[in-house]
Amino acid sequence: MPYGTLECCVDSVESAVIAAENGATRLELCASLVTGGLTPSLALFQEVRQRVKIPIHVLLRPRFGDFLYSEGEFAVLRGEVCLFREAGADGLVLGMLTPDGALDEPRMASLIALADGLRITLHRAFDMCADPFAALAAARRLGVRTILTSGQQNRCTQGLPLLRQLLEAAGDDPEILIAGGVNAAVIRTFCEQLGAVHFHLSGKAVVESGMQWRNPSVSMGAAGLSEYAIWRTDPAAVREASKAFHDMRIIHKMKTKI
């Protein structure tokens, strides 16, 4: 199995191709990255699957906001697990909480059973839970392979103390996939200071729309979001992160030979 992970979160065909061509080892595919990511369409998954060769993990999140889901939303999640399993996803990224901030183990177990052996990542619902170590133990009971986390802070650099504890507590079961402001410098620092080997980034940059005619009187989304600013993966950011990641792998191999 390859040493470490450099996962890139993407929400378009263009970003997926850029990430794969510039050194990502895996994709997390979503829609609406600007709102933290939602479940992508099947058509988006299928188009990305045709264009890239690296593994694709699909985010399952039915709406923006918290991770306390209604019966209807849970039914949608069950359907999406089956949909993307049958479509050929390499893994699924999911999670849900109870009102008191614990992992909703019965519901997650139901989704994981439907996934029928697909690799499962617990997404950043983990960062919203009340007790990260109780959630870690629950994830292990559920057979979750990976926990995506920034250390319960907006940025992983702020969450470094908790991430250090989580890496020590988890070992390789489950993997701790570090997110939240990851870039080449973070990869180098976290590798050296924590021995971290699994990283998740979006590497996003704002691309100006090609629209020449623009109506300033209409907003199609949330206030403050420009209709003419497109989030897209920056090839330079992924290349730099990939270089840092591969340098880290070389250092690890040298250490293991000593």
E-assigned strand segments in 164-239: 175-178, 198-201, 204-208, 229-233
Task: Give the start-to-end residue ranges of the domains of the chain.
Answer: 5-257
Lowest mean pLDDT among 70-79, 108-117, 216-225, 230-239: 216-225
Please give the structure tokens belonging to residue 8.
């890139």
Q: Quick one: average pLDDT of 74-87?
A: 98
Q: Identify whether the C-beta of residue 92 lies closer than 8 Å to the C-beta of residue 118.
A: yes
**According to the model, what pLDDT value does residue 1 have?**
37
Per-residue pLDDT, 253 = 59
Indicate the SS3 state at residue 73: helix
| Contacts with 84 (C-beta within 8 Å, 6 or more apart), sequence order | 42, 45, 58, 60, 92
pLDDT in tens, 132-188: 999 999 999 999 999 999 999 999 999 999 999 999 999 989 999 999 999 999 999
Topology adopted by domain 5-257: TIM Barrel (3.20.20)
Helix or strand or coil: residue 54?
A: coil
Give the span between the Cα atoms of 76 and 82, in whole angstroms.
Answer: 10
pLDDT score of 63 = 96
- pTM for this predicted structure: 0.92
